[in-house]
Amino acid sequence: MFKKLEKWRNDRNISKVDYKVYFENVIEELLEPMYEKDVVKYIKGRIVDEWYVDIGFLDEAKIVDTINDIGVFSINENENMGYDFEKTMDETIKEISSRKQDPEQKAEWEANGACGKWKKQADQNKDTLYTADYLKCKRDKR
């Protein structure tokens, strides 16, 4: 799982620390099952605008502790729902890795090196997108 995520990060030029982006991503993912995309964007924007502060002054160990605690809560919730976390993560990685890069950006990166945020191909053929099948990751009831 970790090697697959490392490859995914490298393919998408995700190499620098950016706690604000992490904060925004976590907020977005927490809201996603409950609201439509436009509502998620609005709420996320309000939270970031009103509550996010630069954390450059914080001890890095506190940040790592926070990130790891979120991971623990996530794994526990997944497992308590009756799923095998490693299997669901494998499904997630298959899904996010099936997305293709915007062709113009891909050509630019090949010519000049990766720069900026990786962009999805907007018109990717739906047949080439993998959809995670989490039901096959459900543990047998014991």
Q: Does position 141 have pLDDT exceeding 90, yes or no?
A: no
Interior CA angle at 66 toward 37 and 116, to 5°?
55
Residue range 73-116, pLDDT digits in tens: 999 999 999 999 999 999 999 999 999 999 999 999 899 988 88
Give the integer Cα–Cα distance in Å for 120 and 12: 10
Tell me the two tokens of residue 31: 């809201």
pTM greater than 0.85: no
Structural Rg of the chain based on CA atoms: 17
* Residue 122 DSSP label: T
